[in-house]
Structures are given as C-alpha cells and as structure tokens.
Structure 1
Amino acid sequence: MRILLVEDDELLAESTARALRSQSWVVDCSARGEPVPLSLRQDRYDLLILDIGLAGIDGFETLRRVRQQGSNLPVLLLTARDAVEDRVRGLEGGADDYLVKPFALSELVARARALVRRSQARTGNELCLGLLRLDLEARRGYVGEEPLALSAREWEVLGFLLARAGKVVAKEQIASASSGWEQGVSDNAIEVCVSRLRAKIEPAGLRLRTVRGLGYLLEEGGAREGGG
C-alpha cells in the first residue's frame, strides 16, 4: 500500500509516517497542499492522509482540488478542529473519514487499513456494487451475467457515480468530470441521464437517490426513492 501524507507539523508527520511504515506501507510526505493534485496525477496512491490546518491552501481547499480533478482516492482528514461543522464540511467535501488530534497512532493505522479495504470495491479494471459490474478496459457493463446496454454518456455518469458509491455527488462534479458533456450542460440533461440509469440499475439491487439540494447518492438495496 502506498500512502501520501500531507502534514506540516514536522514531528507529527515523522511519527505518523513511522507508524504507517511499520505496516510495510510506502509513505510519501508533503508539508503543503499545493503539490497534492499533481502528485496524485503522476503517481498511484492507495490513500491520502490530509491535515486540514496547512500553511498556504488548507486541507479543505486541497481536498476540493483533488475531487475536482476526478480522483476517487480514499481521503482521511486530520484535524485539530472538533467542531461539528468542520467535520461535516470535510465529509461533504469528499473526505471518507477523519481523526481529531491528538489521536492514537494505532487508531490511525486501523482507519487507514479500513479505508483502503473499502476502496477495494474497485479492483483492477472493474467497478462493482451489488450485481452491477463495469469492465473499465472493455467499456462493458453487466448486471449479474447479463450485459447492460449503456450509451456513451450513461457509461461516463454511471462510472463516476459507481466509483463514489455511498457518497453524495453534485451535478457540477458529474458535468466537470465526464468528457461526454459539453461545456454549460443543463441540469435537466443530467437529470434525464440519471433517470434512465435508475431504471437500468434497479435489477442489480441498487438505487440512485436524489439528495435534494446536494446531488445524487448511489447505494445498495431498498426501493427507489426520490425523483429527478
């Protein structure tokens, strides 16, 4: 496992990196958030551990830039801020988990392991959830063993949502990350595409919910909820 640790407290960064490396994980360290998006484009990582209180651009802005470029890398936020609004802001901004300082290094290791394990829903060249499977190399979708007919636009949107299953995804994120959308695409066009996808993925035991005012949530089980 390879981890990018972004922490500007030198002593904390050293002790954290040492604990992670004790698990035979490779750890790269950065004291600033500005280089992170480029680092993630250039190298393959399994986890980003990101401090909120960085000099320069803070962890929130770093996280925003990472998600804006389409990365679905698991992100664990480190924060000295125990306020509920800060935790909510981080999770809604695309973080997968957070730890409040000071924390036990054993808990950090356990959370890192759990986040990477959960991300293994994406294995190799496939994305899977329930009975739905997308072969990213062949660009083919399946519900169980049955082929799933998808237009190019539906493929882009479903892949983006599936890589972020269990998290709310805004319409703006879908539009900016999908190459099939022309600039300035209307909200209605996204809604139409999502509506078509709902009907196609229901047999896979999935639902694609509209979270009013926020975006869409792809998850397993239950009857379909919400329109749009």
Structure 2
Amino acid sequence: MRQEITGTVGPMHTGLQPQVFLFRVNGHNLRYPTFGCVARSPGEAHQTAADAGLTDVALTSIRELTPREVDSFGQTVLAETPYLGPQWMPMAVAIRELGVRLAYERTLVVQVLSSRNGFDEEGSPFAQFLLRGDGTLQAEIGSGRNLARRPMTISEQDVLASLEWSDANVLGPLMTKTYVPGFSWYLVAFDVLIALTLAFGLSENDHVSFLNQPDFPLIEGKLLDIVGDGVFALPGVRTARD
C-alpha cells in the first residue's frame, strides 16, 4: 500500500490494529530524510512525528506489522528458548517498559552487574539503545563499561556475530544491531538477553541497573526485585552482593 498524504494532524483512523507508518521529511540539510513509527492511525503517527521534532512530513506508505514485529513473537521465543525461559519475562517487560518511553535521540543503558565478577559494573557486560530521529533503533553490546580493562574476546565476538550482531572491528569496540521502524521491544529484549547469555554468561544470579532512567517506572519493585539503590534482580532470586 502506497499513498501520499499531507496536512494537519487529524484522526484519520485506519482501525485499532497498530501499523507501520513511513514518512518523507521535507526541508533542506536534513539529518534524516525519512521517519517511521508504529501507530493506530495516521493522526497518531503524525503526532509521533511531531514528538520527534518533525513538523513538515508527508505520509508515503502504511504497512502491516510483520510476524516478527508483533509483541507475541518476541514473548514466545523468549519463553520457549532453553537458554532463557519464562523466568526472564519480567526483565524483558522491564526493558520494554523503558524502551517505549525512550525519547528520540536518547539512550537507554542496561548495565549487567555480574555475580561472577563481584557485581562490578566495569568488568560486566552492558547493552545500550539509541532511538534515532528517523525511528530506527540502534542496539549495542559491550563487554564492560571499562573496555580497556575488559575488551571483548574473539570468541565473544564470534558468538555475537552468529546472532547477527555486526563485527566490532567495523563499527568500533561495540557489537551493533539495527532495527527498522516497526520493531517490537520484546524481540529487542530477547535479542539482547540471549546475546548476553551466550556470549557473556548472563545468569539469573546477576543484577542489572538501568542508566539514564531517572523516572524508572518499576522503582516500587514491580516486576523486578530491588536489591540496592537503582539495582534490580529477577523476582525471587536473592544473591548477596559483596
């Protein structure tokens, strides 16, 4: 389906099911010539574009979500994979809850505090997410906050490459994966959790902190257990920190 729609932010409802809306951004010297988002109507999509700072846009196409972009797909693969399982769903929900609140051109960091590393963040892996102004999401994984102290090994890079993360030698010290507009945060959470598990040994005993999130919606202990100041664990898993 391809169409050209311009004008004000009106309701123009196409139904209650979310769809992917793609826009052309008008103007000169643009950082991003296009923008995409998931919305339930053209009016909602125009408002999302405005929230991204884009006021002169033309709606060029609307498409349905692919099977992998539906939330239930990411939920199912996370629950059924033998390397994770349903016990990791609260962590995926937490990442999703933070992700959908992430502002454009802002970064969310999920810092693992590895029990095997004495819960030291400098030597523990992390994932970070940048929501770009065109609606794409760039996810990155690093071996430790101090990359000089904890560089990524060749075997870790090989594991991440097998999971379709980019070669660290191409884009720098972090392995990267990019998601086009329409992505589901549940699939993003699965991709990150399975990568952290297979490459860096993420376990149920590890803790996490969420950086750049002063208004963390789970601060009251919903979904995840609070084990320290801004530090969380899977529910029911109690591991003493040194």
TM-score, normalized by length of structure 1? Answer: 0.28
From the two aligned structures, give the one with the greater helix fraction. 1
TM-score, normalized by length of structure 2? Answer: 0.27
